[in-house]
Amino acid sequence: MNAVVLQVCSVLLLLSAAMGSDPCLPNHRYSNPDDCTKFHTCVGKQLKEQSCPDGLHFNNATKVCDWPYQAKCQVGGYECEKPGAFVPNLNDCSTFFQCNDVNMPVLMNCSEGLHFNVDTDLCDWPDKALCPRNKEGLIQ
């Protein structure tokens, strides 16, 4: 039994060494962390961006374009509780997410000089919004 385990480990080690650190595996599909309607495929050793047909999102579990409620895609890790809800962008006070009718977060911008206020769900003057981040996501 130990000899079989040792052989399997050796084969896996050789395969991983042969592949190197190249994340692009032939015929694999990868989700786009910034856009649920797009995904990447490996063509040769290059990632190629592709789009799902209108109304569909990339389903990372099945690796195909699917209905949004099946795909359960989250942009940047932001999750909506209900359609129409507002979600603060933790990396930029001047933007926020509004949840669309299929409960997906859509990035929105405040007008120049304003910050999203989590208490009122409106863009507001920075001294009233009390947001501790700037456009680079740094604490001010």
The pLDDT tens digits for 64-113 are: 999 887 887 767 667 778 888 998 888 888 988 888 877 778 888 999 99
CATH number of the domain bearing residue 52: 2.170.140.10
Range(s) of the domain holding residue 85: 76-129
Structure tokens given for 48? 């190629």
| Extended beta strands in 1-140, E state | 29-31, 38-43, 46-51, 57-59, 64-66, 86-88, 95-99, 105-109, 115-117, 122-124
Which residue, 51, 73, 95, sits at the end of a domain? 73
What DSSP letter does each residue of 31-43 carry, written as one string? E-TT-TTEEEEEE
Domain-located, residue 140: no
Confidence (pTM):
0.48
